[in-house]
A and B are shown apart, each in its own frame.
Chain A
């Protein structure tokens, strides 16, 4: 491809050493991640996050905290490649590809990982118009299991919606009218039916009332017990007390 910005499609090989044999392999190792945004129209350069390094072990739940605007979401977006990592490496232990640097992975590899391994959950829904809540989750199931296993997809969808406490009367409704908590639960259901190895949570509890927050906490606890590795941004991490294995503070730049 000749496009000026398609450089990442031809990743350069790097001498990344695999971890010592015997030692547990981290699921995710971020090294020196830097991301800034250039806005050409205004001639501005905006810093997203700067020189971030952190490690997440399999099955861990790591919370990212920090001031608003400190670049928390940028980290997750770089991992999901919604943002284009500028510098640094994002080593992820993939089931399909082995150790892979998400900053260098080809677009097709990222598409594969998004469908099969990495989930991303926010409170905001971005879905096709006129899709019922049920269809949204079913769609996710179909992507995972394929349309040949339609019965399995239907049963998994029902299980998942019930599991995440979405009232049955809402299943056939377009989620436009859902409350924040309902949208979030729908998002989590659609992400979880794919049984991701790594789940990225972007402020899933923001603007929720206390009862809904408790629901989210329960969900995260369930996911954790199933062995899902999670990296999440939380305004009020104390709410996740006892669940969160480590806290990463943006200002201090270290894992606590």
Chain B
């Protein structure tokens, strides 16, 4: 694993991650970025490193339809997420979140609550209607990524994000070999060294336990769990600081699910990748996420530490969700 890390560091020469994108050394003392004003400094402290989020999303909205004066107000009452006057569907309303390096944030909610739309907006698969996205490791968080040119967005998407779709058919070219799939991702971020790409692809497929002799095989002929693992390998290929995982374990049997969860935690631990994990399975989120957002009808209705969301849910809907857990 370490050898892999080093090898890749040489390849990218650490150019993708600015110094800001790196986590402080494990023993360095740091403050959570979100609440320093609550602290009272009672005596001189050791070196304090400010912790900064790698991703800050604010006020993200996504609507389908004309919008009328009634629903242009972000707080206007809707019938679930549909405007009662003009029929505009508000898939996302004023969603905000922060992601820190090496952190896993879970996003839960029922079908149609806007989880996947959120992920696809972050990955520029869908156009955001409103909102700002700032990425520390791209440009120091200077520009709103939603307003970048399409060319820049493509570059950002290929270098900053790894995406794993619920449906492997969206994330992989099923008729090309697994290695080619990974190489494609690396080519699109500017890599042209075939040898390096094959080496990196091969070690990533090792990492996700795809046997040697199947690396040149097309994912069409793989089981669902294997396809999901090829997607994860592909998503990791550019060593992105952020992974977006949309229902990665849905539809996998329990034993394969345990393998994928193990893999995700290992990636977090060894590469310090920040991850957004969308799942309707609270058990998966409990095992993975440090913090969790609960979504309902396109809005974030509650956020908290994952165990607090599960043990002491505040919102009526969250309680209903948690009490439905087997």
Contact = CB atoms under 8 A, between A and B. Distances in A.
Interface string A103-117: 011111111100000
Interface stretch (B7-15, B142-150, B311-319): B311-319
Nearest to A100: B39
Contact of A109 (B35, B97, B303): B35
B311 A82 contact: yes
A99 interface: yes
A3 B290 CA distance: 17
B319 A40 contact: yes
B307 A82 contact: yes
A202 interface: no
Nearest to B287: A128
A46 B246 CA distance: 37
A101 B26 CA distance: 23
Interface string B32-54: 11110111111101101001000
Interface in A134-175: 142-148
A81 B40 contact: no
Nearest to B314: A5
A41 interface: yes
Interface stretch (A10-18, A225-233, A235-243, A245-253): A10-18
Contact of A99 (B42, B103, B291): B42
A212 B237 CA distance: 50
A87 interface: no
A41 B319 contact: yes
Given A111-B291, A128-B287, A147-B1, A41 B320 contact: yes
Interface centre among B29, B48, B51, B304 (most CB of A within 10 A): B304
A98 B43 contact: yes
A124 interface: no
Contact of B31 (A81, A82, A101, A109): A109
Given A82-B307, A84-B314, A100-B39, A3 B302 contact: yes
Contact of A107 (B34, B302, B315): B34
B197 to A, nearest CB: 26
B135 to A, nearest CB: 18
Contact of B308 (A81, A97, A98, A105): A81
A9 interface: yes
Given A77-B311, A97-B31, A9 B316 contact: no
B258 A129 contact: yes
A96 B31 contact: yes
Interface residues of B, number: 60
Nearest to B311: A82
Nearest to A128: B287
Interface in B266-320: 269-270, 286-287, 290-291, 293-294, 299-305, 307-308, 311-312, 314-316, 319-320
A93 B290 CA distance: 23
B165 interface: no
Contacts of B206: none
B133 to A, nearest CB: 15
Contacts of B26: 144-146
A106 B34 contact: yes
B18 to A, nearest CB: 21
Given A96-B31, A99-B40, A142-B269, A41 B316 contact: yes
B312 A84 contact: yes
Given A18-B40, A83-B312, A146-B26, A2 B96 contact: yes
Interface of A: 1-6, 9-14, 16, 18, 25, 37-41, 77, 81-84, 93, 95-101, 104-112, 126, 128-130, 142-148
6 contacts: A3-B294, A3-B301, A25-B42, A96-B45, A100-B38, A106-B38
In the complex, the 6 A-B pairs of residues with the closest C-beta atoms, listed nearest first: A11-B38, A108-B32, A106-B35, A40-B316, A109-B32, A18-B42
